[in-house]
């Protein structure tokens, strides 16, 4: 637990929160390090060795020092400081635990950026199918926050825009402190139909899947409102994403998804951008999580507040997927182009040789281009081989 404790101290100090650490052994290396990092050590008696006793001792110490409130954390898991602080402000208690002692069935998470038009109705509708709705406002400049708050959602605010991936990461950090059966992500612009929340969550609730993707294309729908240009772009992104993850899915870019507690714990999300859907699939495949799709419907007509232009969205996701391929499959990323360049360089050089033999005319440019392309191809192939070997060694 020492690593988790020190990480919590560092994060809290960085965000401006004073830290109290309850310790029976004040001379332990971990406690001394925490004190050096700026934490205040609160000694506990021998009869306060129980976790609940230690937390109670921390609450008393915080009150004695005049702090306006306290968050009690046992340091076994990472803490969502901002989300827990929001709960503390909204509660009538002096101290709350970092993990909610409530078992939820379905929790809905909504990443939002300038969604004042659709966020209120989306939250109201989601409340009919979920026990709790959490909105992460990603630095909106409109009335998204007050509307979401008035609609009954728990709102976590980013001071500046981080991107959809950053908002999703904040949501994942928040629900790690909560007990639930299924965590569902939907968009805040009204595209997704809240009445389909249980349909998407059911495979997770029943233990059949760790991640469920609501697919717009799993079933043919004559009333499908997806524009043709958007569907073509989606097919390109599906091909790239599935090629990098070796999965069989029909809609890799859908933001309507459900997750099990295991998925929330094990998915490794690093991107702040709109490539987060592709990264989820790749990370789920790497962690052997069970993925499933269910059909959903979406609305495009009359929906306002599209954050990204489709072309910008597509190019950003393509760039991110190529980075995934580079990192996960270096032999494919470097080796295949390398072999192609070697073959092209060799053929171009052979062509120059044949021309010289037939006419006696020597073309220096052909020789230079052939040599350069062949060398670059050789370097690419060997780079792929070396990185692939290093990756295998790290995995082993």
222 with 125, same domain: the answer is: yes
Angle (nearest 5°) at CA 20 between 16 and 23: 150
Segment 366-385, tens digit of pLDDT: 889 888 999 998 998 888 88
Q: Provide the whole-model pTM.
A: 0.63
224 with 306, same domain: the answer is: yes
Give the torsion through C-alpha atoms of 206, 208, 214, 218, to 10 deg.
-130
Q: If we measure between CA atoms, which residue out of 40, 34, 70 comes closest to residue 55?
A: 70
The number of residues making up the chain comes to 396
Which residues have C-beta within 8 Å of that of residue 281, sequence separation ≥ 6?
A: 241, 242, 245, 247, 249, 252, 291
226 with 205, same domain: the answer is: yes
Tokens for 286?
């790497």
In this predicted structure, the answer to whether residue 51 has a pLDDT above a threshold of 70 is: no
Window from 95-109, 116-130, 205-219 with minimum mean pLDDT: 95-109
323 with 358, same domain: the answer is: no
DSSP-derived 3-state class of residue 86? helix
More confident residue, 349 or 24: 349
Which residues have C-beta within 8 Å of that of residue 324, sequence separation ≥ 6?
A: 244, 245, 278, 279, 282
Which residues have C-beta within 8 Å of that of residue 90, sequence separation ≥ 6?
A: 154
386 with 260, same domain: the answer is: no
For residue 192, the 8-state DSSP code is B
Segment 296-352, tens digit of pLDDT: 988 876 555 455 555 555 566 566 666 666 766 777 778 888 889 999 988 988 888
Segment 130-151, tens digit of pLDDT: 999 999 999 999 999 999 999 9
179 with 296, same domain: the answer is: yes
CB 298 within 8 A of CB 216: yes
180 with 319, same domain: the answer is: yes
Window from 88-97, 120-129, 255-264 with minimum mean pLDDT: 88-97
pLDDT computed for residue 232 by the predictor: 53
Q: If we measure between CA atoms, which residue out of 108, 106, 88, 104 comes closest to residue 96?
A: 88
CA–CA gap between residue 143 and residue 128 (Å, rounded): 23
More confident residue, 76 or 126: 126
158-161: long-range contacts, CB 8 A cutoff, minimum separation 24: 161/113
Number of helices (H), then strands (E), belonging to the chain: the values are 15, 11
> In the predicted model, what is the mean pLDDT of residues 201-212?
95
202 with 113, same domain: the answer is: yes
CB 39 within 8 A of CB 20: yes
349 with 251, same domain: the answer is: no
> In the predicted model, what is the mean pLDDT of residues 31-40?
85
CA–CA gap between residue 361 and residue 68 (Å, rounded): 88
Give the residue from 97, 122, 147 where a domain finishes.
97
pLDDT computed for residue 244 by the predictor: 46
Give the residue from 97, 122, 143 where a domain finishes.
97
Q: What CATH number does residue 20 fall under? A: 3.40.50
Residue ranges making up the domain that contains 181: 103-328
Angle (nearest 5°) at CA 257 between 253 and 259: 130
Give the residue from 276, 301, 328 where a domain finishes.
328
* Strand ranges, E, within 30-87: 40-43, 70-72
pLDDT computed for residue 78 by the predictor: 67
Q: Mean pLDDT, the chain, as a whole number? A: 82
More confident residue, 201 or 323: 201
248 with 354, same domain: the answer is: no
237 with 268, same domain: the answer is: yes
Which residues have C-beta within 8 Å of that of residue 200, sequence separation ≥ 6?
A: 184, 212, 214, 256, 257, 258, 294, 296
187 with 234, same domain: the answer is: yes
Total structural domains in the chain? Answer: 3
Segment 209-261, tens digit of pLDDT: 999 999 988 876 655 555 554 555 555 545 555 554 456 788 888 889 999 99
pLDDT computed for residue 230 by the predictor: 53
More confident residue, 304 or 50: 50
Q: If we measure between CA atoms, which residue out of 223, 176, 171, 193 comes closest to residue 294?
A: 193
pLDDT band at 295 (very low <50, low <70, confident <90, very high): very high
Q: What CATH number does residue 183 fall under? A: 3.90.550.10
In this predicted structure, the answer to whether residue 358 has a pLDDT above a threshold of 80 is: yes
At residue 64, φ and ψ (nearest 5 deg) are -65, -30
CA–CA gap between residue 148 and residue 189 (Å, rounded): 12
Give the largest CA-CA distance in the chain.
99
> In the predicted model, what is the mean pLDDT of residues 273-299?
88
Segment 155-186, tens digit of pLDDT: 999 989 998 999 999 999 999 878 899 999 99
pLDDT band at 363 (very low <50, low <70, confident <90, very high): confident
């Amino acid at each position: 637990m020492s690593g988790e404790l020190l990480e919590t101290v560092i994060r809290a100090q960085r965000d401006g929160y004073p830290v109290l650490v309850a310790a029976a052994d004040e001379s332990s290396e971990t406690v001394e390090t925490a004190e050096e990092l700026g934490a205040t050590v609160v000694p506990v008696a021998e009869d306060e060795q129980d976790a609940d006793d230690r937390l109670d001792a921390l609450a008393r110490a915080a009150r004695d020092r005049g702090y306006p409130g306290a968050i009690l954390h046992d340091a076994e898991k990472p803490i969502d400081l901002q989300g827990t602080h929001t709960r503390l402000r909204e509660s009538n208690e002096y101290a709350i635990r970092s993990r909610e002692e409530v078992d939820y069935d379905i929790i809905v998470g909504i990443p939002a950026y300038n969604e004042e038009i659709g966020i209120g109705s989306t939250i109201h509708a989601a409340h009919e199918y979920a026990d709790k709705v959490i909105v992460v406002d990603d630095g909106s400049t409109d009335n998204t926050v007050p509307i979401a708050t008035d609609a009954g959602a728990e709102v976590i605010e980013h001071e500046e825009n981080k991107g959809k991936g950053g908002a999703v990461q904040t949501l994942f950090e928040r629900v790690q402190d909560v007990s639930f059966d299924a965590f569902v992500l939907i968009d805040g612009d009204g595209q997704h139909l809240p009445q389909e929340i249980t349909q998407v969550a059911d495979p997770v609730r029943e233990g059949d899947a760790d991640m469920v993707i609501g697919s717009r294309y799993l079933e043919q729908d004559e009333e499908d409102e997806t524009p043709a240009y958007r569907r073509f772009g989606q097919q390109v992104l599906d091909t790239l994403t599935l090629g990098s993850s070796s999965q069989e899915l029909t809609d890799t870019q859908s933001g309507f998804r459900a997750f099990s507690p295991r998925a929330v714990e094990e998915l490794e999300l690093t991107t702040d951008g709109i490539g987060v859907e592709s990264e989820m699939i790749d990370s789920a495949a790497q962690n052997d999580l069970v993925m499933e799709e269910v059909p959903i419907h979406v609305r495009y007509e009359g929906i306002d507040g599209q954050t990204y232009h489709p072309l910008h969205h597509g190019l950003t996701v393509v760039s991110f997927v190529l980075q995934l391929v580079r990192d996960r499959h270096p032999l494919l990323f470097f080796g295949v182009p390398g072999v192609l360049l070697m073959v092209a360089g060799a053929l171009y050089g052979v062509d120059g040789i044949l021309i010289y033999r037939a006419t006696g005319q020597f073309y220096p440019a052909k020789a230079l281009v052939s040599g350069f392309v062949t060398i670059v191809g050789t370097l690419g192939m060997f780079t792929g081989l070396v990185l692939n070997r290093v990756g295998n060694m790290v995995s082993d």
